[in-house]
Chains A and B, each alone.
Chain A
Amino acid sequence: MKLKQKVLSILMLMLATGASAQINVEGRVTDKQSGEPLTGVTVQVKATSMGTVTDIDGKYTLSLPSQNRATLVVSMLGYTSKEILVTNTIRQQDVTLEEDILGLEELVVIGYGTVKKRDLTGAVSVANADNMKKMTATSVTQALQGQVAGLQVKATGAPGETGRIFIRGISSLYSDTNPLFVIDGLPTSDTRDFNPDDIESVQVLKDASAAAIYGSRAANGVIIITTKRGKAGSTKIDFAAKYGFQQAVKKFDLMDGPEWLALQEEKYANAGRSGEFNIIDPTVNTDWSDQIFQTGSSQEYNVTASGGTASSNFLISANYMRNEGIVKGSDFERISTRVNGGIEKGRIKIEESALLSTSLSHDMAGSPLTNYLRMPPLMPLYDAEGNYAMGGENGAQTNSVNPVAERNLQHNKNRSYRVQGTVNGEFRFTDWLKYQINLGLEFNTNIGSQATEYGRFSANDVRQSRYSEDRNHFLKTVIENLLVFNHDFGKHSVNAIAGYTEQRIKSTSSGGFAYDIMQDNSGRYYWSLGNGDPQQQGLRESSDPTGLRSFLARIIYNYNNTYFLTASIRRDGSSRFREENHYGNFPSVSGAWRVSEEKFFEPLRNIINNMKVKVSYGVLGNEAIGNFRFNRYLNSFIPYTFGRSENFVFGTMPTLVVDTSLKWEEKKTTNIGLELAFLGNALTVEADYFVNRSDDLLAQVPIPMYMGSWQTIFDNGHTVWRNAGSVENRGIEVSIGFEQYQHPFKYDMKLNLTHISNEVKSLGGDNAPIYGTNTKTEKGRSLGEFFVLKTDGIYQVEDIDPDTNPLVFGDLPKAGDQRYLDLYGRDADGNLVEGADGNINDDDRTYVGSPWPKLEFSYTFNASYHGFDFSMYWTGAFDKTVYNSPKTWLYNVGDNGNYAAGYTGWTEENRSQTTPRVYADATLRGNTTRFIDDISFVRLKSIQLGYSLPNKLLKKAGIEKCRIYVNAENLLTFTDYDGLDPDFSGGGVFDLGVDTNSYPCVRTMGCGIQVTF
Chain B
Amino acid sequence: MKRLVFGLLLACSVTACDDDFINISNPNQQTAEGFFQTEKDMDEAHIACYGTLYFQGIFGQWYDLVFEMRADLCYNESAWRDYANFSKFQYPSTNWECISYCWNHYYQGINILNNFLAHIDDESIKMDEEKRKQYKGEVSFLRALYFFNLYHLYGPNLLLITEPMDEVQFPASSTEEAVWSQIFQDLDVALNAGLPNVRNDAELGRITRGAVLAMIGKAHMQRHEWQAAADAFKQLIDSKVYQLTDNYFDNFDLDHEFNQESVFEVAFTDATKGTWTEFGSSQSPSTTQRARYFAPRDVGGHSDAQPNYYYLQEFVNNSPINYGTRTADNKVDSRRRASILYYPTQVLYGKTYLELGGAPEIDPQYPKIWSIKYSNGTWRTWEDEWSPINLRIIRYADVLLMYAEALNNLGRTADAYQYVDQVRGRQSVNLAKLSTVRPNMTQAEMQDQIEHERILELGCESERWFDIFRWGYLDTEEGKAKLLEHDYEFRTFRPGIDKFLPIPQNECDLNPNLHQNEGF
Residues of chain A touching chain B, judged by Cβ–Cβ distance below 8 Å, are 3, 276, 390-391, 393-394, 397-399, 427, 429, 433, 435, 437, 458-460, 462, 464, 479, 481, 483, 500, 502, 504, 513, 515, 535-536, 538-540, 542-543, 545-549, 573-575, 579, 582, 627-628, 631-655, 657, 702-714, 716-717, 720, 768-769, 771, 776, 807, 809-811, 830, 841-843, 894-896, 921, 923-927
Contacts and interface: CB of A to CB of B under 8 A. Distances in A.
Contact of A641 (B115, B205, B278): B205
Contacts of A705: 100, 103-104, 107-108, 504, 506-507
A230 B455 CA distance: 86
Nearest to B510: A704
Interface in B60-106: 77-85, 88, 90-94, 97, 100-101, 103-105
B23 interface: yes
Interface of B: 1, 3-4, 7-8, 10-12, 14-17, 19, 21-33, 35, 41, 44-56, 77-85, 88, 90-94, 97, 100-101, 103-105, 107-112, 115-116, 159, 161, 165-169, 171, 201-206, 258, 267-274, 276-284, 286, 297, 300, 302, 304, 365-366, 368, 384, 492, 494, 497, 504-511, 514-516, 518-520
B84 A645 contact: no
Q: Which of B84, B107, B368 has the most CB of A within 10 A?
A: B107
Nearest to B271: A648
A479 B14 contact: yes
A712 B277 contact: yes
Nearest to A466: B275
23 contacts: A393-B368, A399-B81, A460-B78, A481-B10, A481-B11, A500-B17, A538-B274, A538-B282, A540-B282, A543-B27, A543-B28, A633-B29, A638-B52, A640-B50, A645-B202, A655-B280, A657-B166, A706-B107, A708-B109, A810-B520, A896-B81, A921-B90, A923-B82
B441 to A, nearest CB: 39
Contacts of A458: 79
Nearest to B161: A706
Nearest to A628: B26
A809 B77 contact: no
Closest 9 CB pairs of A and B: A708-B111, A651-B47, A651-B48, A810-B519, A638-B51, A481-B11, A654-B32, A652-B44, A538-B283
B355 to A, nearest CB: 14
Contact of B94 (A435, A542, A712, A842): A842
A825 to B, nearest CB: 13
Contacts of A632: 31-33, 166
A388 B371 CA distance: 27
A676 B17 CA distance: 47
A125 B41 CA distance: 58
A707 B82 CA distance: 27
Given A549-B22, A633-B32, A704-B168, A646 B267 contact: yes
Nearest to B386: A536
A429 B510 contact: no
B297 to A, nearest CB: 7
Contact of B93 (A579, A703, A927): A927
Given A500-B11, A627-B26, A646-B271, A653 B56 contact: no
Given A652-B45, A896-B81, 20 more contacts: A435-B10, A460-B79, A547-B22, A633-B30, A638-B52, A638-B112, A646-B271, A703-B510, A704-B511, A704-B514, A705-B507, A706-B511, A708-B111, A716-B104, A771-B510, A842-B505, A842-B520, A894-B92, A895-B81, A921-B88
Nearest to A548: B22
B110 A708 contact: yes
Given A573-B22, A636-B30, A643-B205, A894 B273 contact: no
Contacts of A647: 202
A809 B519 contact: yes
Contacts of B297: 459-460
Contacts of A771: 506, 509-510
Given A543-B27, A548-B22, A645-B201, A809 B107 contact: no
A374 B12 CA distance: 64
B93 A926 contact: yes
Contact of B506 (A459, A652, A717, A768): A717
A479 B15 contact: yes
Given A582-B19, A714-B276, A707 B269 contact: no
Q: Which of A481, A636, A654 has the most CB of B within 10 A?
A: A654
Contacts of B110: 708
A641 B103 contact: no
A732 B267 CA distance: 64
Contacts of B270: 535
A719 to B, nearest CB: 11
A831 to B, nearest CB: 8
A709 B510 CA distance: 15
A908 B428 CA distance: 59
Given A397-B79, A657-B165, A923-B82, A549 B19 contact: yes
B21 A575 contact: yes
Q: Which of A391, A545, A548 has the most CB of B within 10 A?
A: A545
B276 to A, nearest CB: 6
Nearest to B282: A637
B227 to A, nearest CB: 35
A27 to B, nearest CB: 38
Contacts of A398: 79
Contacts of A841: 516, 520
A640 B53 contact: yes
Contact of A643 (B12, B77, B203, B508): B203
A536 B388 CA distance: 14
A651 B46 contact: yes
Contact of A653 (B116, B171, B206): B116
B32 A706 contact: no
Contacts of B494: 810-811
Contacts of B365: 276
Given A549-B19, A703-B510, A713 B45 contact: no
Contacts of B278: 538, 712
A712 B279 contact: yes
Contacts of A459: 79, 297
Contact of B273 (A536, A575, A926, A927): A536
Contacts of B97: 716
A768 B510 contact: yes
A786 to B, nearest CB: 14
Contacts of B518: 810
Nearest to B390: A641
Given A706-B507, A810-B519, A924-B92, A641 B283 contact: no
Q: Which of A649, A650, A706 has the most CB of B within 10 A?
A: A706
A765 to B, nearest CB: 9
A538 B274 CA distance: 8
Contact of B11 (A390, A435, A638): A435
Nearest to A776: B509
Contact of A830 (B56, B258, B515): B515
Nearest to B16: A502
Contacts of B25: 628
Given A654-B115, A925-B92, A707 B107 contact: yes
A710 B280 contact: yes
Contacts of A641: 205, 267-269, 271, 286
A644 B16 contact: no
Nearest to A810: B519
Nearest to A924: B92
A435 B26 contact: no
A921 B84 contact: yes
A370 to B, nearest CB: 14
A11 B103 CA distance: 80
A642 B268 CA distance: 9
Contact of B107 (A639, A708, A717, A807): A708
Q: Which of B280, B283, B300, B520 has the most CB of A within 10 A?
A: B280
Contacts of A894: 81-82, 85, 92
A427 B22 contact: no
